[in-house]
Chains A and B, each alone.
Chain A
Amino acid sequence: MTWLLANLDQVAQYALQHLVLAVLPTVIGAALSLPLGWLASRHRVGRGVLLSASGLLYAIPSLPLFIVMPALIGTQILDPINVVVALSFYALALMLRTSADALASVDADLRLAATAVGFAGRQRFWGVELPTAGPVLLAGLRVVSVSTVSLVTVGALVGVQSLGYFFVDGYQRGFALEIAVGVVGTVVIALALDALIVLAGRALMPWTRKGAR
């Protein structure tokens, strides 16, 4: 306990860095999954190709992917960008199927009705299709954010600072409490982010609140 109090500054700093390293890929992956998911929901062949590709991508282990990144995008091995880009790929791979299925599940009659009352193209997508697919997208986003928060810690092995640093440092110093602080901190960040996504979902999609119907 005294260790935690004495090192509170460092813990808070790494927790903040952890949060940034997790939120960025989650947002980037989810944002990219929308146009690609839309494509997959419209074209049968596109769906097959995109979903197979994301399946293979997701099969690639995290540490090797972090290490391959510098060769792909020309960064240094210790650069945090490697972790952000690699985790964005995972987030996209994980989210793509959800996005494709969510957008494909929008009722054809609903789409016709929207067209009939004057919604077209982009307006129909943002005003009708996206909100309708919203609850399913939200569920997918929750899975992505939890898994990303946990994967960020692996970056500590290639020198990217997050709460994962305490696993490496704690093990090397033979200090179990330090590792435990890192584990608990990671779980707390995952739960906090999850709660935030749920709250944001309620605010943005008031019709999904209980008793709203």
Chain B
Amino acid sequence: MNVVAEALAWVMDPEKWSGPSGIGPRLVEHIGYVGLTLAIAVAIAVPIGIAIGHTGRGREVVVPFTGALRALPTLGLVTLLALLLGNGIVPPLIALVVLAIPPILAGTYSGIEAIDPDTRGAARAIGFTTGQSVWRVELPLALPLIAGGIRSAALQVIATWTVAAFLPLGGLGRFLIDGLAVRDYAQMLGGSIVVIALALAADLVFILIERVITPRGVRAQR
């Protein structure tokens, strides 16, 4: 239990939080990377998912593709792109966006597909155009499942940016990778505790968001 005490002392030490490579700035970097990755992935995956769910076309292309992506090792993809495209944040960002797309895509098209055809018919019957039906009926009904997809993607992205610290990048993974290099287990364990806390906090925030954005009518049915 000695090592745990040392790691907690490391996390609690105010000096470790400040400075350009302190826990505070690394935490901000990590959240920034994750937010950027998710924003790009959402901007790509949600429109495609809506199109697939709404038209029912393209499913047979996308489903096996997203399944195959699951088998791809994230560390391999990140290191390979870094070698091929050079240093900086862009190569790992591309790799992580690719990894974040499948769960968001799956959440979106299954959310739209799950809508009762009668509901969609009713929207058309009261005079909604296709665009209005998508924006004002289908999207709000699909939101909980879309948020669920973003939640899975977020957890995966938080984990993979930690692993990506193997490259010369910022983020919380630095403490884990650098700690191992100098055999400073207290720093590795302390850094791990901060990453785990971040992941669990993100998970809880997404659970709350899913609750809040579930339309009242849908909630009543469940």
Contacts and interface: CB of A to CB of B under 8 A. Distances in A.
Interface in B73-93: 73-77, 79-80, 82-84
B182 to A, nearest CB: 13
Which of B4, B159, B173, B180 has its CB near the most chain A CB atoms (within 10 A)?
Answer: B159
Nearest to B84: A176
A42 B195 CA distance: 35
Interface string A38-82: 000000000000000001101111111101101100000100000
Q: Which of A61, A68, A179, A183 has the most CB of B within 10 A?
A: A61
A74 to B, nearest CB: 10
Dominant secondary structure of chain A at its interface with chain B: helix
Interface string B205-218: 00000000000000
Contacts of A71: 3-4, 7, 189
Which of B75, B155, B193 has most chain A Cβ within 10 Å?
B75
Interface stretch (B19-27, B54-62, B107-115, B196-204): B196-204
A64 B195 contact: yes
A157 B163 CA distance: 8
A149 interface: yes
Contacts of B70: 143, 146-147, 150
A183 B199 contact: no
Interface in B8-29: none
Contacts, number: 126
Interface residues of B, number: 40
B72 interface: yes
A117 B191 CA distance: 58
Interface of B: 3-4, 7, 68, 70-77, 79-80, 82-84, 155, 158-159, 162-163, 166-167, 173, 176-177, 180, 185, 188-189, 191-193, 195-196, 199-200, 202-203
> Shortest 3 CB-CB distances between A and B: which pairs?
A61-B159, A64-B192, A183-B76
Given A59-B203, A157-B75, 18 more contacts: A60-B199, A61-B155, A61-B159, A64-B195, A64-B196, A67-B189, A67-B191, A70-B3, A70-B185, A71-B189, A77-B185, A150-B72, A154-B163, A157-B176, A171-B82, A175-B83, A183-B73, A186-B76
